[in-house]
Amino acid sequence: MSPRKSVAETRLTRRRIVDRGLAIASMEGLEGLTIGRLATDLGMSKAGVLGHFGTKETLQLAVVDEAAQVFTREVPERVPGGPTGLARLRAMCEAWVAYLERHVLPGGCFFTAAATEFDDRGGPVRDAIAGMSAVWQRDLRIQARLAVHNGELPADTDVGQLVYDLVGVMLALNHFLQLQCDPAAPERARRSLSRLIG
């Protein structure tokens, strides 16, 4: 076997492990993600799975990173270029609703579930989850501030409160889709967003 083929096979195997790990973690949480479960699901040995990551925490971090890439591809990268400010903020929120509406991950919003699971812990996994959330909220804040600066939102808009409210709508959407199986939830979320940002 050539070294190049071996490297490609190693990457492919790692990709399979992370993809399956994300599917499991989406439904059962990051703590439900075990080396044994992955080995069984993928027809591998535990040593074979562990050899790619070394520790469960490293595996969890790889899954968080993959979830971030999925979110980035499915939400920010779907927002068309063009004017910044209110139009961009609306497009970002619509992409966020559509992401949950399309059930991209079987367990809904990975970061909502992971934040609940890790919010009272310390460590690198919690930091990675919190970091992703902070980056997205920063991006929302930037567009909200630009909307205020452009005169598209009132000058006295409390941008921190607005972002808080936008995130609250999305948390509610995830709850009503996942726990209540409410097909009307996306349209309810859109109406709530319309009240907030027109």
The answer to whether residue 68 sits within a structural domain is no
The domain in which residue 14 lies consists of 1-63
Q: How many domains does the chain have?
A: 2
Residue 149 is predicted with a pLDDT of 98
Residue 1 has pLDDT above 80, yes or no: no
The answer to whether residue 161 sits within a structural domain is yes
pTM above 0.75, yes or no: yes
What mean pLDDT is predicted for residues 81-91?
A: 93
What mean pLDDT is predicted for residues 21-46?
A: 92
Asked whether residue 86 falls in the same domain as residue 123, the answer is: yes
The answer to whether residue 69 sits within a structural domain is no
Asked whether residue 80 falls in the same domain as residue 150, the answer is: yes
* Residue where a domain stops, chosen among 16, 33, 63: 63
CATH number of the domain that residue 129 is part of: 1.10.357.10
| 5-30 confidence digits (pLDDT tens) | 678 888 899 999 999 999 999 999 99
Arithmetic mean of pLDDT over the chain: 93
Asked whether residue 104 falls in the same domain as residue 167, the answer is: yes
Asked whether residue 178 falls in the same domain as residue 80, the answer is: yes
55 touches 123 (CB < 8 A) = no
CATH number of the domain that residue 2 is part of: 1.10.10.60
Residue 191 has pLDDT above 90, yes or no: yes
